[in-house]
Amino acid sequence: MTGNVWFIIGASSGFGKAIAEEALRRGDSVIASSRRGTSLKDLESLGAMLLDLDATSEDATISAAFQKAIDKYGKITHFVNAPGYLLEGPVEGASAKDALDSISVNVLAIMNLTRLQVAYLRTRGSGYIANFGSIGSWHGGSAFSHYAAAKWAVSGFTESVHAEVKEFGINATVVEPGYFRTEFLHEGGGNRKVVSNPLEKEYKGTSVEQARNALNNYNNKQPGDVVKGAKVIIDVLTGSGVAAGKEFPVRVVLGRDCMDGIRAKLASTEKLMKEWEDVIVSTDHDV
C-alpha cells in the first residue's frame, strides 16, 4: 500500500470510476462515492471503500462521509470531484428548474465540496483537489449553453482556489477533457439530460438540431481513451510518471481535440483583441 488516500465523488462511471480503478491498481486506498455508491461492487472487489454520497448534500452529511474515510485510513490526501451532467437543448427550452438543477450539481456542489475539502487539507498542511471542467470550459456553442456556463465557472473557480491555497501546501487543478469514450453522451441516463421543452419543430434545421445529431453520431466514437486519461490525472496529482519533474498544472488538458479547441480559442481571442484594440484602450481616463 502507498500513502495515498483518494476520496472520489462521482465514481459510478466515466472518469471518476477510471481514476478509482487506476489508483487501486497502483496500491492506493480509494473511497468511491456517488448517490448509489454502495452499489459499486466491482470497485469494492478491487479494494475500494464504498459510500453513498449525493454531491449536493448538506455540509454535515459531506463532513460525516469524509470522517468515515479518515476513521478508516487515518487521512485523505487526494479529492476528486467528478459529479456532473450535460443539459442539452436550446436555452429558451430550459425551465428555471432545469437551469437551477444544472448549476446546483455542476457548479455549486463542486464549490461546496471544495470548500470543505480545503478546510480539512489546510489543517493537514498538504493535499490535492481535482475538479472537472471540460473542453466546454473554453468555448460555447449551440445546444449546450448551460453546460458551457457551468464548466467555465468550475475552471475559473478552481484556478482561483489554487492561487488561494497553494501557500498552505494544497494544490488544486481543473481537469479539462475533450471527448472521451465514456457513457457521458448516452441518452436516457443521468449523464445527458434534455431541456424540458426541446422545441424540436421550432429549431429544426438549425445549429441546435445539428449539435444534437452530432452528439448522437459521436457517441461511442469519441477519440479519448478514459483509461489513458485516468493514468495521466493520477500521475499529475502524485507528481509521478509523465508529470515527474514538471511544475504542477492548474489545468490538466486531455485529448488532442481539447488542445486544438483551446488553440483555436486563443487565436480567435487574439484576433478580436487586435481588431478592437483602439476601442478597448479608448475607455481609459486621459492622463
Q: Nearest 5°: CA angle at 148, between 170 and 253?
A: 45
φ/ψ of 31, rounded to 5, equals -110, 115
Q: Which helix (H) or strand (E) holds 5?
A: strand 5-9
pLDDT digits (tens, 9 = 90+) for 113-157: 999 999 999 999 999 999 999 999 999 999 999 999 999 999 999
Please indicate whether residue 143 or residue 218 has the higher confidence score (pLDDT).
143
Angle between helices 14-25 and 226-238 (to 10 degrees): 60
pLDDT digits (tens, 9 = 90+) for 219-278: 878 878 999 999 999 999 999 999 999 999 999 999 999 999 999 999 999 999 999 999
Domain 5-256, architecture per CATH: 3-Layer(aba) Sandwich (3.40)
Give the residue among 67, 50, 47, 40 at the shortest CA–CA distance from 1. 47
Count the neighbouring beta carbons within 10 Å of the beta carbon of residue 166. 13
Q: What is the pTM of this model?
A: 0.94
